[in-house]
Structures are given as structure tokens and as C-alpha cells.
A = this chain, B = another copy of it.
Amino acid sequence: MIIDIHGHYTTAPAALGLWRDRQVAALEDPSLAPSRTDLSISDDDLRESIEANQLRLMDERGIDLTVFSPRASFMAHHVGSFATSAEWAAICNELCHRVSRLYPGRFVPAAMLPQSPGVDPATCLPELTRCVEEYGAVALNLNPDPSGGHWTAPPLTDRYWYPVYEKMVEYGVPAMVHVSTSINAAFHTTGAHYLNADTTAFMQLIQGDLFKDFPTLKLIIPHGGGAVPYHWGRFRGLAMALGKPTLEEHLLGNVFFDTCVYHQPGIDLLLEVIPTQNILFASEMIGAVRDIDPWTGHHFDDTARYIDAAGLDEAELGAIHEHNARTVYPRLDALLKRQGR
């Protein structure tokens, strides 16, 4: 079985974006505010948006199941207040939940949190609770920079974030550390901000001792870990300079990397440098890079091909495709077992 742990609902029906436009416009003129019931998306609309896109490509690429969360760049936690984010997250999470019910063997939801800059992350717990208990979410996306590129939040090792971690540990759900749109002109969203956030988060974790307080907490660094595996020697050396244990001891019981690296040499490096048990298959399809690579004739984000070509043995392939995900996402494993898989 191949589990893609990093999919977003990037192809949601246009009505969702139009509703969001009205919500944003209402920040200036509250009389424009849409109600939840103004958004009408039928099951057929959902099916059409999924079957022509993610499901088609999953079938073409042999991906059995995708952990599916709202579109990352649309989270836009910097917009409006907590109330804005709360309503928007509720709507987006409900859509992913509905997709998972339409295709119960193929999509499993992960929660978007209603984060807002400067607002106590504990405010996100009701939505997280709903997603886990009512929607069957097996993970969540945690934005280390709800300001959208201004990086005003404390590091991930700060007690500021502990209410979220406590709930994660209680539920047994991991978090993917994933930023949203950059409103800082210096940072292109998917070409700079996403990768920078991955690198930044990993270095924050090196500097702190978060997993002493939360030994069972699990975090996934997406996009192949940003710059981290490429600079593994640098990070090993920085950990030494900071008087920390080895990265294996300090972080690799709790931190995992996905395979969203869009060329063969990058995947080869990831597989060479990072222990197999810390790598989870993912493509973030349909996402930042949607074209066909003219050098290969295949989609840049068809990461399954790179992994197939990397010369792994069957046990390693099984770990990266399936078994590591079942370990890191225990609620996913339980669901699969209930489904007889």
C-alpha cells in the first residue's frame, strides 16, 4: 500500500474561493459578511473536483490513500481575527471531511487550525477536537508563522505552543509543520517561505528540548525538510556547537521528513542522509509545481517515480510507502485496521 501523507484540497470548487472573498471583503464592510449557509457545494461538486484531479493522479501513480487537509496557501491565518480563521477553518475542514466520507478508502482528513497572529494557540483546540472526534482527522497542520512571513510567533519550542502539543499527545495525532501564504514581498510563498519554514522549524527544534517535555510528540517537516538534509553536516555540527545530543538522539525519535522533493538527485540525497524510519512518502499533489518536467516527461511532483528508481530494497520501500506512516499516524493505522487493511 502507498500512503501519501501530504495532500491538500487545492482543487476545491470555485464556490469556496468566492465565499472566502466575501469573508475577506466583510473585514472592511461587515454588511457584506456571508453566512455559513451561503456556501453551497454538493457532493457531486466534490466528486467532480476530486475525481478529475487528485483521485485520477492517485490511480495513475498507484497511490492508495492520501492524508488530506485544506489548501495550505489558503489557510492565510494572517487575515482578520481569530473569528475569521475559526469560521474559515471550520468550513475548510468540513469539506475535507466530506471528501473522506465520499471516498473512505482513499482520503483521510488532517485538520487545519484556526490560528491567528498573537492569539493563544489554545483557542484552536475546539476545532482540533471536532476534527479528530467528529471527522476522524488523523493529523493536523501547525503553522509556525501565522503572520504570513513576518515571523512574529515564538519558536515551536516555546511554551506558547504547549496547549496544542498536549492535545496532540492526548489524541495521538502528529502535526505537519506547514506555513501558509507569504504576505512578505521578500518571500515567494512556495519557492521561499515554505522551504524556509521547514529549515527554520528544524533549527528551532535543535535549539530547544521540546521532546524532553513531550517524548511521544511527533512532527513532520514537509518538502523533504527544506534545506535540512542537504545541509545535514551543518546541522550535525551546529547541534554539537550548541552542546546538544546527536540529531538522531535529540530529534529523530520525534521528527520526520516527507518526500516532497521534485527531482531524482534530491530524493536520492534524502534517502541517503535521513534514516529510513524517518521518511514518509508524500507528493503534495496537486500543489506548487504542476507541470511535466521536460527532462523526464513526467510530472515534477510524481515523487513515487523517484523513490521507485532509488534502488531501495522491499523493506525500505514498505517502510517509506506505508509502515512509517502507520507508526507516526496511529489513528490512521487504527482506521486501516478497521477497514481490514
A230 touches B266 (CB 8 A): yes
- Indicate whether A266 sits within 8 Å of B203 (C-beta atoms), given known contacts A145-B186, A291-B240: no
- Indicate whether A151 sits within 8 Å of B184 (C-beta atoms), given known contacts A233-B261, A261-B231, A265-B269: yes
Select one of B229, B236, B273 contacting A300, CB under 8 A: B236
0/1 per residue, A257-272, Cβ < 8 Å to B? 0000111011011001
Q: Is A290 an interface residue (CB 8 A)?
A: yes
B186 touches A293 (CB 8 A): no
Contacts of A289 in B (CB 8 A): 233-234, 237-238, 241
Q: Is A61 an interface residue (CB 8 A)?
A: no
A232 touches B200 (CB 8 A): no
Q: Is the interface of A mostly helix, strand, loop or mixed?
A: helix
B230 touches A269 (CB 8 A): yes
Q: Is A36 an interface residue (CB 8 A)?
A: no
Tally of A interface residues using CB under 8 Å: 56
Contacts of A187 in B (CB 8 A): 151, 200, 203
The A142-193 residues at the B interface (CB cut-off 8 A) are 144-145, 149-151, 153-155, 184-188, 190-192
Q: Please measure, in the bound complex, the distance between the C-alpha atom of A49 and the C-alpha atom of B195, giving whole angstroms.
A: 37
A204 touches B186 (CB 8 A): yes
The A226-261 residues at the B interface (CB cut-off 8 A) are 226-227, 229-238, 240-241, 261
Closest chain B residue, CB of each to CB of A266: B230
B233 touches A293 (CB 8 A): yes
Contacts of A185 in B (CB 8 A): 154-155
Q: Is A288 an interface residue (CB 8 A)?
A: yes
Contacts of A300 in B (CB 8 A): 233-234, 236-237
Closest chain B residue, CB of each to CB of A150: B150
In the A-B complex, the 7 residue pairs with the smallest Cβ-Cβ separation, listed nearest first, are A233-B263, A237-B289, A233-B262, A227-B227, A230-B230, A191-B203, A196-B196
**30 A/B residue pairs, CB under 8 Å, sorted by A:** A149-B151, A154-B186, A187-B203, A188-B200, A188-B203, A188-B204, A188-B207, A192-B199, A192-B200, A195-B196, A195-B234, A199-B227, A223-B234, A224-B230, A226-B227, A227-B227, A227-B230, A230-B269, A231-B263, A232-B265, A232-B266, A233-B289, A234-B300, A236-B263, A238-B289, A240-B291, A241-B290, A241-B291, A265-B273, A266-B273
